[in-house]
Amino acid sequence: MTVASELISMLRDRALTMAVAESLTGGLLVAELIAVPGASAVVRGGVVAYQTAIKHSVLGVDADLLAEHGAVHPEVARQMADRVRTVLAVDGKPADIGLSTTGVAGPGAQDGHPAGTVYVGFAIGGLVVAERLELAGDREAIRRATVSESLLRLQRELATA
């Protein structure tokens, strides 16, 4: 059983829904989740906010924060995770969980951060946190590792929630 399928099962058992906001992963994260049969019961969908401006215009990430720190910042990950729940609301009901990724896949640095610097955001109820990842490898390896680590860390967060 994959981490994605375990996570989908855990969410289904708890009757929880989730929404995903991705940047550097470009849709890989939500694709991993919806590859699991029955994922439609819990996964609302995803927003690929690849460009920094979209993080503000679609997800509502604070424009001043983005202007001052760029997209590779823990507060950006927190706001993406928190706000995607409302962006992907159904019948006025936000998703229970928001998951986000933002960072540098490479090959070069961005906003002064080296490739492999990634923040993963989680919004579960009132808990809104971000975790920093330091990943190695080429662009594809960093993107794939971000997906794996995001799912593992969300699973861990839910196990303690």
For the segment 43-101, what is each residue's pLDDT rounded down to a tens digit? 999 999 999 999 999 999 999 999 999 999 999 999 999 999 999 999 999 999 999 99
Spell out the domain ranges in the chain.
3-160
What is the H or E stretch that residue 18 is in? strand 18-22
Contact 19, 95 (CB under 8 A): yes
- CATH class, 3-160 region: alpha beta
pLDDT at 161 over 80: no
Mean pLDDT over residues 14-18, rounded?
A: 98
